[in-house]
């Protein structure tokens, strides 16, 4: 029997029928994210709020929907977007950007011709890859090196986040995070919304990618793999598997740049930890 809230129109599901094990295992299996039992209420509320949008009042009906074929895949993508954290900002963790700046400057100084490839691994709504692109663009212009190219591959598991990234509209509040030096790459759409110039946007290519399926990624080799604020959501075993997977995508001498708080220590054959203030980075020998 359906329950009704005292608002009259909202169907309340029977919360006792919410199967935490079933839902958390699905999330863990498909994207590797673990939601501990203490966060059951978070999981339940997020799922329920999506069910409300669809007018579904039974957890088992929604479960069947999510598990079912192409419609299920589309719905899964919507739900996943609500269950994952997309918090991000322009030039987040400055020291990692400084490290990339330093590496690219070495290329600009020492190579007449080069294609510098960067992978922003879980790029959320695009602030990270656009920050990298603005920075590299400015360095290249300053060095007047026309034959040094740069390109950024930006991926995430969340399609809605990627759509926002591709649309490239950011609020006035958001763009305040961008250093004045780079504001010249912004255009105002209206008094509250800004976008980024085509010259910068053209250097960034977005794509859906699930870190748990790292073996399915086509083998492109990168100079920089920038992986920040995503490994924290995985178990230790999965973190190691992902890091070993990422290593395969580095050019010789390429850098894997991580957020220092995302992992404890990691040792891997052929990877040397490099020291650069307040960063956590490894070079492929
Ligand atoms: C907190 S944001 C980090 C964004 C950006 N890297 C930064 O540091 O600001 C975490 C991102 O990881 C993505 N994510 C979660 N699980 C993932 C997976 N299995 N594969 C790829 N991306 C994933 C989420 O969709 C989210 O956009």
Probe ligand 1: pick from 119, 157, 159, 166, max atoms within 8 Å of CB? Answer: 157
> Between the CA of residue 49 and those of 40, 54, 104, what are the distances in Å?
14, 9, 45
Same domain, 55 and 114: no
Q: Is the pLDDT of residue 50 over 90?
A: yes
Q: How many domains does the chain have?
A: 2
The share of the chain scoring above pLDDT 70, in percent, equals 96
Distance CA 133, CA 182 (A): 10
Domain at 78, CATH number: 1.10.155
State residue 71's pLDDT score. Answer: 86
Mean pLDDT of 215-223: 88
Q: pLDDT tens digits for 112-132?
A: 999 999 999 999 999 999 999
Q: Whose CA is nearest to atom 23 of ligand 1?
A: 157
Do residue 106 and residue 221 come from a single domain?
Answer: yes
Question: Which residue among 46, 92, 96, 122 has the greatest number of ligand 1 atoms within 8 angstroms of its CB, and so is best to mutate?
Answer: 122
- Same structural domain, 266 and 166: yes
Q: What contacts 24+ positions apart, CB below 8 Å, involve 163-166?
A: 164/125, 164/126, 165/123, 165/124, 165/125, 165/126, 165/129, 165/206, 166/126, 166/206
Task: Render pLDDT for 25-48 as a digit per residue (tens, 0 to 9).
Answer: 999 999 998 899 999 999 999 999
Interval 60-119: pLDDT, tens: 999 999 999 888 999 999 999 999 999 999 999 999 999 999 999 999 999 999 999 999
The token duo for 1 is 């029997």
Both 145 and 202 in a single domain?
yes
pLDDT(158) > 60: yes
The pTM for the full model equals: 0.92
230-239, pLDDT tens digit by residue? Answer: 999 998 999 9
- Look at residue 215 in the predicted model and tell me its pLDDT: 84
pLDDT of residue 216: 82
| Domain of 78, in residue numbers | 3-83
65 with 152, same domain? no
Task: Judge whether residue 156 has pLDDT over 80.
Answer: yes
CA distance linking residue 21 with residue 194, whole number of Å = 43
Q: Are 92 and 126 in contact (CB under 8 A)?
A: no
- Mean pLDDT for the chain? 93
Ligand 1, closest atom to CA 226?
A: 6
pLDDT of 12 higher than 80: no
pLDDT at 57 over 60: yes
Specify if 89 maps to a domain: no
264 plus 143 within the same structural domain: yes
Nearest CA to ligand 1 atom 7: 88
Same domain, 42 and 103: no
Nearest CA to ligand 1 atom 9: 88
Rounded to the nearest angstrom, the distance between the alpha carbon of 127 and the centre of ligand 1 is 12
Phi, psi of 222 (to 5 degrees): -115, 155
Q: Is the pLDDT of residue 2 over 50?
A: no
Q: Ligand 1, atom 3: nearest CA belongs to which residue?
A: 229
Tokens of 255: 């850098």
Residues 49 and 132 in one domain: no
Contact status, residue 196 vs residue 134, Cβ threshold 8 Å? yes
Q: How far is the CA of 45 from the centre of ligand 1 (A)?
A: 21
> What are the CA-CA distances from residue 135 to residues 130, 131, 142, 182 (Å)?
8, 6, 11, 8
- Give residues (CB < 6 A) around ligand 1: 31-33, 84-88, 92, 122-124, 128, 156-158, 161, 209-212, 228-230, 233
Check residue 9 and give its pLDDT.
Answer: 54
Closest ligand 1 atom to the C-alpha of 259? 8
Interval 136-142 mean pLDDT: 97
User: Is 67 among the domain residues?
Assistant: yes
CA of 92, closest atom in ligand 1: 9
Write down which residue in 28, 48, 83 finishes a domain: 83
Distance 99 CA to ligand 1 centre (A): 21
Q: How far apart are the CA of 243 and the centre of ligand 1, in A?
A: 15
Tell whether the model's pLDDT for residue 248 goes beyond 50.
yes
So what's the pLDDT on residue 15?
A: 78
Looking up residue 156, the CATH number of its domain turns out to be 3.40.50.150
Q: What pLDDT score was predicted for residue 5? A: 46
Instruction: Return the pLDDT at 17.
Output: 86
User: Per the domain annotation, does 88 fall within a domain?
Assistant: no
Same domain, yes or no: 171 and 267: yes
Query: How far apart are the C-alpha atoms of 114 and 162, rounded to whole Å?
Result: 28
For 52, half-sphere exposure in the C-beta direction (CA atoms, 13 angstrom radius) is 13
Residues in the chain, how many? 285
Q: Are residues 129 and 268 in the same domain?
A: yes
Determine, yes or no, domain membership for 56: yes
Whether the pLDDT of residue 154 is over 80: the answer is yes
Name the phi and psi angles at 95, rounded to 5: -55, -35
Q: Are 71 and 182 within one domain?
A: no
134 and 209 assigned to the same domain: yes
Residues 6+ apart with CB under 8 A from 263: 231, 239, 243, 280
Number of H helices, E strands in the chain: 10, 12
First vs last C-alpha separation in the chain: 64
């Amino acid at each position: 029997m359906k329950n009704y809230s005292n608002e009259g129109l909202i169907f309340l599901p029977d919360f006792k029928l919410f199967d935490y094990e079933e839902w958390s295992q699905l999330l863990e299996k498909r994207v590797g994210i673990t939601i501990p039992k203490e966060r059951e209420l978070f999981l339940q509320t997020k799922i329920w709020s999506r069910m409300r949008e669809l007018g579904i009042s039974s957890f088992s009906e929604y479960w069947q929907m999510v598990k079912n074929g192409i419609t299920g895949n589309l719905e899964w993508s919507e739900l996943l977007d609500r269950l994952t954290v997309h918090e991000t900002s322009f030039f987040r963790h400055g020291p990692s950007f400084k490290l990339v700046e330093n590496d690219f400057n070495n290329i600009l100084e020492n190579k007449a011709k080069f294609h510098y490839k960067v992978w922003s691994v879980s790029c959320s709504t695009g602030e990270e890859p656009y920050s990298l692109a603005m920075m590299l663009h400015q360095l290249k212009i300053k060095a007047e090196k026309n034959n040094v190219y740069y390109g950024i591959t930006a991926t995430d598991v969340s399609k809605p986040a990627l759509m926002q990234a591709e649309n490239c509209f950011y609020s006035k509040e958001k763009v305040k995070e961008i250093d004045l030096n780079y504001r010249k790459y912004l255009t105002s759409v209206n008094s509250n919304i800004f976008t980024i110039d085509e010259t910068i946007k053209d250097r960034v290519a977005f794509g859906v990618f699930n870190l748990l399926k790292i073996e399915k990624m086509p083998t492109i080799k990168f100079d920089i793999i920038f992986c920040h604020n995503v490994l924290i959501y995985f178990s230790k075993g999965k973190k190691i598997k992902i890091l070993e997977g990422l290593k395969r995508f580095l050019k010789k001498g390429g850098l894997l740049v991580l957020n220092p708080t995302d992992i404890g220590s990691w040792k891997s054959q052929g990877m040397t930890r490099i020291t650069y203030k307040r960063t956590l980075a490894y070079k492929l020998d």
